[in-house]
Structure 1
C-alpha cells in the first residue's frame, strides 16, 4: 500500500543523512490542478527533500485518503510535528492546517476498474492477433494470452492502489483445446492468479450445464473425465481449486428455491467507499444454450433485474453501482469509439435506473467505448473489450467520499500487446507463473492437438453468402449426414447444423509445422466445433420441415439472418428473406421449393433428420426439433467430422454454397 504521509522519524533521518541538498523554491501548495491552494509558507529544504514534497496531496505522490477528514487530520499531525522540530513557525503550521481544511484533497477517491469480456478460454495467445488501422494497430498485431493479459493488469494496478478486476461473461466455454480438453480448469486457475474478482455469468458458462458451472466455482474433479484435475502435472493444487473469484448471476433464478444461482452482486470496499458490481447474462440465454443444461433455471429481464436491486443497495448505503452485463451491441470503427451503436444494449441502458453509473458489456465480441442515455436521459459510460483477451478496458472512477457515489468515469480500451508495438515505452511483461501453467497444459494437450485427422484442398470458411449458406456449414452438415445415414445409425436423409456451433474456419495453411500442406489436425477441428455435442436423429414430417426453416426468421431471431441453418447435400430450398431488411416474424420459405435429391418434399410424408443435441432440445429457438419422433442418439459431432475427413483421403473441398437460394420472389 502507498504510504499516506512520510513518518516524522523518516523526515528526521532525511535531515541528518547525506550531504545532498534539495533546491527548494516557491511556496507550499495544497492539492492539485484547478483546486490547488497556494500558501505563504516557503517551500523549505529539509536535508535532501523539499517540504512541499513531503505533503502527500496529489495523485502523482500517491494521495489515497478515505475522505477529506482523514487528510486534514493527518496533515495537522504532520505539521504539528514539524513545528515542534522547529522546521515551521506556529503561524506557518496554522496556515498549512487552514489550507488543508479548505482544500479538495480526500473529497474524492480514484478507483480503477480493469475489465474484459468473452475470454472463451483463450489462455494461449501465440496465434491470436488484432487489427485496427483507425487506432494505429497494424494488421495482425500479436495480442492476447492470459500471461500477457495478467502483465497488463499488473501494470495498470501499479499506478492505481484502489483497483478491481472484472469480467462480463463467457470467461469459459467455446474454448480452444488447451483449456476445453481440461473442462476449462486452466482458465479458472490462471484467472485466479491474474487476480480476477468478479465474473458475470454469460451464456457459454452454461455450455456443460449448471452442475459443471457450480464445480467451476467450488472446485473438485469432474465426475467422469480423467483429463480433469491435472494440478500435479501443471503446478496447480490438486484437486481442482475452483474459482477464487465470484460468479455473479443476478437474473438467473432457480425456480425451485426462488433464489439466484450465484450472488446477484458483489461489493468491494475501497477505504470505506463501497462499489457494487451487479452481474448477469442476457435474458435470451435459454435460446442459445442446451435446454437440458439449464433445466430448472429462469432468466429474467436485464434492466428490470438491475432496477429491482437498486433499492436494496441503497438501503445498505451503497450508491456506486457498476453493471457487468453479458449482452451488448455493435459499434463499428475505433475500439474507443461509438459510431452508429446499435443492438440490445441501447434499449437496456435506456430503461436503467439513474443510480447505475457504468455498464461493462459483452456477448457481441465488439470493442467500443460509448456513452448512452439511461431512463432519465442522462448518458452513462458503456464499454466492451472485444473478445479472447486481446483487449482490456482500463476504467477510472472518481468517487465522492461524502456521498459515496461515482461522480466521474473515464475509460480506455487497451491492446494486450504481445510484441509491445504500441507499448515500447512501457512494455507489457508476461507473468511467469501463469506462462508456466499454460505451457504445462499445452504439453499435455499437444499429442492430441497435433494428430492429423485429414486434409482439405483449400480454405473452407464459415462466411455465409447472401442466402445464409457457408462452405464450412455445407461440409459439417455433410459429415453429420454421412455419420447417420446408414440404417443402423439412424437412416437419416437430411442433416442440419446451427451456424453458432461453427467457431472458426478450416484454413489450408493450418497452424502446424507443416504449413501449406492442407493437413487438418484434431486441434484445428476442435477449434471449429468445440462443444462436444452428440448427434441426434429424429423423424419429422415434410410440413414440419417447412415450419422449421421458417423459424429461422421468427420473432426473436437475428434480423441479419445470423441463425440460418446449414443443410446437407441433396437437400435444397428457396427463400425471400433479406438480412437487415425483411421484418422478423413472417414466413419466407417458398412453398414447394423444398426438395430432396431433386424430388419435392411431401408435406405429409416422414423424413429422418439429423441435428446435434443442442438443436435437438430446441436450441436457438428451433422448437420444431422438439416435435420429432423415434429419436436415436449418434456419434459426437467432432468424431463425425473426423470420420468424414478419413473417408476422403484426397482432401475435402469447400462446400458449393448452392443448396439455399435467396430469390426476389417465389414462383
Structure 2
C-alpha cells in the first residue's frame, strides 16, 4: 500500500496529539478542539481544498453535525477530558434549516456536541442584543416571534457560555456577557477569554446594539489576567472573533505570513498568552505571531482545530502548544447515533416547513432568462427585494449578480410560492451588505461588467427600481456606460450613495473589485432568501403581486 507524504505527516501529527500520548514527568497534557464560524451549517456540503504537499485540489462532502459529533466521539475515547471551544459566529447568516427557527436547532446541536464556551461573533448580534441574551438564557420573548420557540415549542437556552470581554453596556458600565470561563482538565485550570472584533458596530445594524460599546480587544483581555491569577489560573487561551489572511495551506505547521486586522491585536496581548483561537475571516490556518500560536478552522464545520497544551504542574505555566487542522470529511468517523437522530428530526420538521406557502405571485413563474440587454424579470425582482431589505440601513440602490440566481421562481397551485421554491432561487445563504459608493465609483463598477476587452457579458448586474443606465459595446473598455440615473436624475460623480448587495459580490466576488472599496459598510445580517420572501409577502399585501405585469427596462443597450 502506498502512502503520500501528506498522509504520513497527518498520521504522525495524530499520534503526537492523541490524548494518550506520553508527557514529561510533572506535566499535564490538555487536549482542545476548536470550532469557528459554523453559521448554522447543520448539514455537510461540498468543500474544496489542498493541503501541504498536494498539487491538486480535492472536493469532498465535509462538515455537518453528524460528522462533527462522530469525530468528537472518537477523540473523546482518546481523552475523556477533551474540551470543545469556539471563536464566534456559530449562528447567523445560516441556511434555512437553522435560520427558519431563529437558529435554535444549531444552538441545540452545539450543546449536543459538548461545546463549553465560545466568544461571540459579529453575527451573534445580527438580531440585536436582546435576541442574543434570549439565545443564551432561554425564553420565547423575541423580536422574531414567527421563528422563536417554533422548533420545539419552547427554548431553554444554550448550555454553553457566550463570552465577550470587550462588550460593555454603556449605561451600566457592566459587561453584556461574561468575559471568561474557567474550565478544568487533568486538574489544570484554564481560562478561556472571549472577545469580538472592535469594529462590530460598523458591520451590525445600529438599532440592535444601541447602548453597547465594543472596546479594544487586547486591552480587554490583558486587564483580566491579575483577576484570573488570583483564582489559581496560570494558563490563558483567547477566543477571538477577528481574522487574518495567509497564502499558506490550512494545515501548514506553522506559517509566518499571517496578515490582517488580527495581527496587531495578537501582538498587543500579554506575553503569558501563548494561544489565540480566531475566527471571522473563514480561512484555515496555523500560524505564529511572535511566540504565540494563532489558529482558525475555516468555516461551516468543514474542519476542526485539534490543539495540545502541555502544562508544568509545579509552576502552573504553559510550556508547549501545538495544533493541526483536520478536515471533517463525511464518513471518516464512526457515526454518533444521537447526532444522526437529532439531524433527522431537524430535517423532518424542515421539510414540512419548506412546503409552507410564502406568498402569491402574479404568474406561474418569474423567469431568470435574460433579455437582449442582459436583464431579467427575476433579476429585477431580487434587486428590488434587496433594496427593500436595505432601506432601514439607508439603501438607495441595489445590485444582484446573475450567477447567484440559480433557478426561475416557480409557483405552485394558484400561483403560490412555497419556502422551498424560493430557496431554489437563492440557495447560497448570502447576507446583505449596505455601503457607500460615490457616483464615480458606481460608474466604474458598471464598467467592470465587461472584463478587459471582452464585450461578451458574464450577465450584467441586475439593478433595482429607480436605477437605470445605457451601455454601448461598440465603445472601448472603460467607456461603455452612458447615461446613469437614479429616479430620473443623473448620477452625481461626487455624491455618495447607499448601495445594497449580497456579501459575495460586496466583498469583490464575481470580479467586481469596486464593491470592496465601499465605505461605512453595514453587515445587515439579513439573508438574501429572507429579503426575497419578505418582499414577495409585501407585494401581495400591497395587491401588486410580483410578476403581475412586465417591468419597464432598467438597462438599455445602444445598438
Q: Does 1:195 align with 2:114?
A: yes
Q: Could you tell which deviates more after superposition, 429-438 or 211-220?
A: 429-438
**Alpha-carbon distance, 1:184 to partner:** 0.7
Structure 2 Cα separation of the partners of residues 361 and 507 of structure 1: 33
Aligned pairs for 1:63-462 within 5 A = 104-105=24-25, 107-125=26-44, 128-134=45-51, 139-223=58-142, 225-230=145-150, 239-337=154-252, 338=255, 340-373=257-290, 379-420=291-332, 428-449=333-354, 454=365, 457=368
| 2-structure distance, mates of 1:657, 1:381 | 54
The 1:440–1:296 alpha-carbon spacing in structure 2 relative to 1, beyond 3 Å, is same
| Helix, strand or coil at the partner of 1:279 | strand
Asked if 2 retains the 8 angstrom alpha-carbon contact of 1:332 and 1:340, the reply is yes
* 1:201/1:472 CA distance change after superposition, 3 Å: farther
Shift of 1:340: 3.8
Asked whether the 8 Å contact 2:125–2:204 carries over to 1, the reply is yes
CA distance in 2, matches of 1:498, 1:197: 41
| Aligned residue pairs, count | 458
Superposed CA RMSD in Å reads 4.7
Cα separation, partners in 2 of 1:529 and 1:412, compared to 1, 3 Å: closer
2:85 and 2:380 mapped to 1: Cα distance? Answer: 39
In structure 2, the CA distance between the partners of 1:181 and 1:401, relative to structure 1 (3 Å rule), is: same
Q: Determine if contact 2:29/2:186 at 8 Å carries over to the other structure.
A: no
Q: Distance in 2 between matches of 1:252 and 1:153?
A: 31
Residues of 1 paired with 2:105 and 2:177: CA distance?
A: 21
> Residue deviations 1:451-488, cap 9 Å, x none?
798565479xxxxxxxxxxx99976434456x69xxxx
What displacement does 1:657 show? 12
Gaps of 5+ in 2: 1-15, 359-364, 371-376, 410-418, 446-460, 471-481, 507-517, 523-529
Alpha-carbon deviations, 1:381-432, whole Å to 9, x = none?
1000000011000001111111111111110100111043xxxxxxx12322
| Cα deviation digits, residues 637-667 of structure 1 (max 9, x gap) | 5432686997459999xx9899xxxxxxxxx
TM-score scaled by length of structure 1: 0.59
TM-score between both structures, scaled by the size of structure 2: 0.70
Look up the SS of the partner of 1:335 in the other structure.
coil
8 Å contact 1:207–1:531 — kept in the other structure? no
Structure 1 window deviating more from structure 2 (639-648 vs 282-291): it is: 639-648
Give the equivalent residue in structure 1 for 2:397.
496
Structure 1 unaligned segments of length 5 or more: list them.
1-57, 66-103, 233-237, 374-378, 421-427, 460-470, 511-518, 536-543, 554-564, 575-591, 625-634, 659-667
Partners of 2:160 and 2:232 in 1: how far apart? 24
Offset, 1:610: 8.9
Task: Between the two structures, name the one with larger relative contact order (CA 8 Å, sep ≥ 6).
Answer: 2
Q: Distance in 2 between matches of 1:227 and 1:433?
A: 25
SS of 2:28's partner is strand
Shift of 1:372: 1.1
What is the CA–CA distance in structure 2 between the aligned matches of 1:272 and 1:623, rounded to whole Å?
Answer: 46
Question: Residue 244 and residue 256 in structure 1: after superposition, are their counterparts in 2 closer, same or farther (change >3 A)?
Answer: same
Aligned to 2:423: 523
Matches of 2:100 and 2:216 in 1, distance apart? 33
SS across alignment from 1:403: coil
Cα distance 1:60–1:227, how it changes in 2: closer, same or farther (>3 A)?
Answer: closer
Report Cα offsets for 1:578-625 as digits up to 9, x if no partner. Answer: xxxxxxxxxxxxxx9963378524799999x8969x99xxxx96399x
2:485 maps to which of 562, 570, 595: 595
Given that residues 477 and 497 in structure 1 are in contact (C-alpha distance below 8 angstroms), is that contact kept between their aligned partners in structure 2? yes
* Aligned-partner SS, 1:341: coil
Residue equivalent to 1:29: none
What SS does structure 2 have at the residue aligned with 1:429? coil
